[in-house]
Structures are given as C-alpha cells and as structure tokens.
Amino acid sequence: MNILELKINDLKRITAIEIHPTTGKPVILTGDNGNGKSSVLDSILLALTNNGLDDPIRHGRPSGSVKLTLGDDKAEYLLERKITKTGSKLVLTDANGMAVQKPQTFLDGLLGNYAFDPLEFVRLKAKDQVEALKIAAGLDFTAIDAKRSEHYSERTTVTRDGKEASAQLAALTAPADGTATEESSAVDLMDNLRALEDAERTYKASCDNYAVCCNNYDVALQNVAAIEAKLVAAKESATHFAKSKMESANDQQSALESAPTQEQLQAARDAIASVDETNKSVRNAVAYKAIDAKVKALRLTMANLNRRIEEIDEEKKAAIQNANLPLDGLELTEEGVMVNGTFFSQLSTAEQIRVSTLVAMSQNPSLRIIIIREGALMNAANLAMIASMAVERGFQVWIEKFQEAPSATGLHIIDGAIAFEDGEPVTESAE
C-alpha cells in the first residue's frame, strides 16, 4: 500500500500543496532551507501517527489539515487529520465511505518502522547500526545485558580477591607430610617431663632399696651360720627381711612398668627444645590450608561466573542468529554489522545504500513508504538504484533534498507551495 494522493493545508511552512505520486517514481522534494520541503515529510508522519510536529499550524492560520489517499492500484482508504488550537481530529474511511473503527489503532497496524532512514543508517557508527538492527528485529537485551553486567562485575571482584589470595599462598611454604594440625603446649610438655623424671627417681629409689634388702638378707644368712644360738632370732629376722624383700621386689616391678626409657626422656627434652619450631610449622600449615581452600573456592567461583557469562553470550548469539533479520546474509556481531561475511563499513557506498534501503523496506511491509531526509548526499547513480529497487518491490520513496534552484527532477518548493515540477513552473497550486 502506497500514498496515492497527499494534500496539505496550512501546516508548518506549507500553505497549500497537493501531490499525486507517480507509480515507480521517487517523490523528490527540493528547495532552499525554510521553504517547506521538510514540512511535507513531517505532515505525512503527522497524518499517520499524530506525532512529529510541535506547534504544527501555519502561523496566522486558525487550523491546518493533511489528507492522504492510501492504496495500491486504487484508493482503499481516505485519511484526514485536522489540527486546531485545541487538538487534532482523525477521520479514516474506506473506499466506500465507511468509517474505520479505532482509526489510529488501524494505522498503527499498517505502520512499520517508518522512521528508518537508509542514509541515516549508513552514517551511524558500527555499534549503533547493530543496535538499530536489533530494534528492527525486535531484539531487546536490556534484562540479559543487566544480568551479564552483574556477573561481570562480580567476576572482577573475585579475580581481584583470587590474585590477593594467590599472592598470600605464594608467600607461604607448603607443609611437609605428617605436619601436626595443632600447636603443642610448652607447659604440657614440661609437666610431662617432670612426671617422667619423678617416675625415674622413684624407680632408682626402689632399686637402691632392693639392693639394701638384698644386703641385709645376706648378712642375716651369715649370722644364721655364725651364731647358731641366735638362730631363732636370726630366722625371724630373715623371715622379716624376706617379706620386705618380696614387697620391695613388687614395688620395683611396679615402678619398672611406669618407668620411662632413656629414649622417652630424650624425646621429651627434644620436644621442649623444638616446640617453637613445631608450632611455627603448625601455624604455617593451618594458614596454607586455609588460603589454599580460599584460592580453590575463588577459582571455582570464577569458573562458574565465566560459565554464566558464556551462557548469556551464547543466549544473545542464539537470539541474534534466530532473529527475523530483514535481509539474508545479514549478521550482527559485537564489532558491527556484517553482510555476507563483510563488515558493513567495508562495503562500497552504493552497496551500503542498497543494503540500508532493503532493511528499510523490510521494516514497512504494509504501508510501503520510505522517507529519506538527506537526499542531497546521494548521487544520480544511487538515486537511480533506489528508484529501481522501489519499482521492483512496490515501494514508494519520498526524498528531501536541499537545493536552491529547481532541477529537471522533482517538486521544487518555494514559500510553502510547489513552484516547479521536473523543472517546469507550476502556475497554479491545487486547492
């Protein structure tokens, strides 16, 4: 569907303009600055959307209006938007004069991305072109980019903490196998040594006592042999000392069981001598184990964050790959837009304009119009190319060109009215 007829009265710089576009021919609007060529395009957008113009009524006039006849080969819809000081009124009827219900909703359904200007797209920076095409394809990564940013920020913090922990770990010596896990108490070791020394003294005393008893027994036996007269007393004494001997032997055996070896005594003394070094090793092992665990935990967290970021990037990549992009061979990357494997910026100017025009056409499948604001930047060859593409795909192109003098092509506007058409003067303006 195209614009078959356009009538504008008293809008912005326009006094009265009537345009009947020719099928397959771009509508080229030329003129000096401030004469109304931009107002024509703004009026079309005003008619279709009720947006795009501030203070739209021509100064000194009570109201203004814009009328559009829409259709393909013949009129299908008649649109009139009248603007007064108090607001605007939209009337939309079909070819039989029947009013269309909810006319603005109906028009919104016809409109695509009518503001997609091919030349404006060409001039965008690479990343801005990617964003424009994301919008064109209906891709919105606001939420997913926020999540990625959150994970990225967290990963930065974890990376910093991981470096600090790794530096601390590198400053420590890895503990030897079998290093104790708890520090020893020097007081406990001293108490243990004293107990062992007491046990040793007890054992020695029992040995001395046993030696004395043995000697007494021997003396007693001698007395028995030497003094038969004192045999009874000697036997009693012998019996007494035999009992003492047995008791002493028992005490000696008991003391022997708890008496330390020389190796145990020496080990106890060595433990006291080395307690500081042992405890230092224990502290080092505890610190090493704690920081090693922290480094491993941070590495795990880093791996999880990397995986989440990769998943988000893959999700975005899949969404872009599966998006209904407006042109075969079109690819969106972090660096910019690519066309059949070549970056958009590396295409020739003609190819850039061709691709941009195809994108613009894909954005307006129902109401097939394209608006180009800076047509003066196009040469004749590019203009002819766009015209050919429009004919091939049934599109209507409206082009605004700054031009002080009329040329052999286009509608030249002076003081809000069409003064020349294809280089020929227009003697009367349509009412």
- Claim to verify: residue 49 and residue 178 sit in the same structural domain: no
pLDDT tens across 188-203, in order? 888 888 888 888 888 8
Q: Do 151 and 266 belong together in one domain?
A: yes
Radius of gyration from C-alpha coordinates of the chain: 52
DSSP state of 99: B
Q: Which long-range contacts (CB under 8 A, 24 or more apart) does 251-257 make?
A: 251/206, 251/209, 252/203, 252/206, 252/207, 252/209, 252/210, 255/199, 255/202, 255/203, 255/206, 256/203
- Give the pLDDT confidence score for residue 120 in this predicted structure: 82
pLDDT, position 142 = 80
User: Could you give the CA distance from residue 210 to residue 275 in angstroms, rounded to a whole number?
Assistant: 38
- Of the candidates 125, 132, 118, 27, the residue with the CA atom closest to the CA atom of residue 350: 118
Same domain, 75 and 131: no
Position 417 pLDDT exceeds 90: yes
**356 lies in a domain?**
no
Query: What's the mean pLDDT in 111-137?
Result: 79
Note whether 211 and 285 are same-domain residues.
yes
Return d(Cα 193, Cα 264) in angstroms, integer.
9
- Does one domain contain both 103 and 122? no
Write out the H or E segment, with its range, that includes residue 93: strand 87-94
Q: Would the pLDDT of 428 be above 60?
A: no
Least confident of 9-13, 126-130, 420-424: 126-130
Q: For residue 288, is pLDDT > 60?
A: yes
Q: Is the pLDDT of residue 157 over 80?
A: yes
Cβ neighbours around 267 below 10 Å, total: 14
Contacts of 62 (CB under 8 A, 6+ apart): 84, 85
- Global pTM exceeds 0.85: no
Evaluate whether residue 359 is within a structural domain: no
What is the token pair recorded at 41?
């395009």
Q: What is the DSSP letter of 376?
A: G
Q: Has residue 227 been placed in a domain?
A: yes
Mind listing the pLDDT tens digit for each residue in 8-48?
999 998 999 999 998 778 899 999 988 999 999 999 989 99
- Do residues 1 and 70 touch, judged by C-beta distance below 8 A? yes
Q: Are residues 248 and 370 in the same domain?
A: no
Q: Do 122 and 145 reside in the same domain of the chain? A: no
Q: How many domains, the chain?
A: 3
| CA nearest to 282, candidates 137, 173, 134 | 173
pLDDT at 90: 93
| Average predicted confidence (pLDDT) for the chain | 85
Query: Which residue is listed with tokens 């393909």?
Result: 72
pLDDT at 4: 93
pLDDT at position 227 is 67
250 inside domain: yes
pLDDT confidence of residue 224: 67
pLDDT of 8 reads: 95
Structural domain that includes position 307? 140-322
Is the CB of residue 7 less than 8 Å from the CB of residue 64?
no
Q: Residue 429: what pLDDT?
A: 44
For 372-401, give one letter per residue: b (16+ CB within 10 A) or e: bbbbeebeeebbebbbebbeeeebbbbbbb
Residues 6+ apart with CB under 8 A from 408: 422, 423
Share of the chain above pLDDT 90, in %: 23
pLDDT tens by residue, 351-387: 888 888 888 887 777 888 888 888 887 888 888 888 8
Q: What is the pLDDT of residues 210-231, one digit of tens each?
A: 888 888 888 877 776 776 666 6
Residues 285 and 378 in one domain: no
For residues 19 and 166, membership in a common domain is answered with: no
Least confident interval from 170-179, 201-210, 228-237? 228-237
Whether residues 292 and 397 fall in one domain: no
Q: Is the residue at 430 inside a domain? A: no
**b/e per residue, 167-191, with b = 16+ CB within 10 A?**
ebbeeeeebeeeeeeeebeeeebee
Q: What is the pLDDT of residue 263?
A: 87
Residue 415 included in any domain: yes
67 and 88 belong to one structural domain: yes
Determine the Cα–Cα distance for residues 360 and 115; give it in Å rounded to an integer. Answer: 9
Residue 358 lies in a domain: no
Please check whether residue 431 lies inside any domain of the structure: no
pLDDT given at position 92:
94
For 67-105, the pLDDT digits (tens) are 999 998 888 999 999 999 888 999 999 989 999 999 999
**What confidence score (pLDDT) does residue 3 get?**
92
Listing DSSP states for 299-348 in one string gives: HHHHHHHHHHHHHHHHHHHHHHHHS--SSTTEEE-SS-EEETTEEGGGS-
Shared-domain flag, residues 397 and 330: no
CATH assignment of the domain containing 97: 3.40.50.300
Task: List Cβ neighbours of 127 (8 Å cut-off, separation of 6 or more).
Answer: 336
